[in-house]
Amino acid sequence: MARTEHPTVPFDEAVSATRTGDLWIFRGGTVADRVIQTASNAPVNHVGMALVLDDLPPFMWHAELGRSMRDQWTGDHHRGVQLHDLAEAVTTWQVRYGQRAWLRQLEPAAGRGEEDAALRAVARLDGVSFPSSVRLGWRWLRGRDAHLSRRAGERKGLRPEDAYCAEVVAATLEEMGVLTGDVPTNWYDPGRFWSGDSLPLADGWTYGREVEVAAPAGGSGAAD
């Protein structure tokens, strides 16, 4: 999906154009949102990854505290790491949570091998708990310490006790071969996936700049 002269792209167009590995990034204005943005020195507070398989509706793969949406992997409602219907998830974040949303697309398009790897990550991580605020902050700090980062990297591929949104996306992209795996997943925060930052992408992969997505018809996004 190419950028146009318009400041946003229509909701339906963005959902239709989404492919496996594309990033959906969100920014809100609540106190909790601002705390995440300030703590991570990032312009955004949430990130999810799209998973689009054959003729199935597109999915959103992410971690969140809410459990209002049905997890498409388990069929139930739970907190933490979840696989949601993408259109429902983005609508919830834009309309119910009052967030602005951006889509950032992976190039080239992911193939069957990458999709299979993403599904393995879903099988391993779905249902993992979202960390408490204290553990969330501690994990970010650990991820930025070089010595502890090397130790954390030795445990890649295991099912963690808990994980936040950026960790889930990073772990999945590593399994797909899109990210190199040179840093531990707790090095990532939502802002790492914004175009103003740099990602340790494997050779041959790039992400385009983010494009803002309009709220769905009948809904309204949050003001900045």
117, pLDDT greater than 90: yes
pLDDT at position 85 is 98
As a whole number of angstroms, the distance between CA 72 and CA 125 comes to 13
Q: Quick one: pLDDT at residue 139?
A: 52
Confidence at 150, pLDDT banded by 50, 70, 90: very low
Residue 40's pLDDT is what? 59
Is 58 inside any structural domain? Answer: yes
Residue 90 lies in a domain: yes
Is 6 part of any domain?
Answer: no
Residue 224 lies in a domain: no
The enclosing domain of 179 has a CATH number of 3.90.1720.10
The whole-number pLDDT of residue 105 equals 97
Q: Which domain holds residue 178?
A: 11-213
2-44 residue pLDDT tens: 544 457 999 999 999 999 999 999 998 665 666 665 565 667 8
Q: Is the residue at 50 inside a domain?
A: yes
Mean pLDDT, to the nearest integer, of 147-157?
Answer: 48
How large is the average pLDDT for residues 66-78? Answer: 95
Q: Taking residues 66-95, what's their average pLDDT?
A: 96
**Count of domains in the chain?**
1
User: Has residue 2 been placed in a domain?
Assistant: no
Taking a C-beta distance cutoff of 8 angstroms, is the pair 124, 156 a contact?
Answer: no
Judge whether 94 lies within some domain. Answer: yes
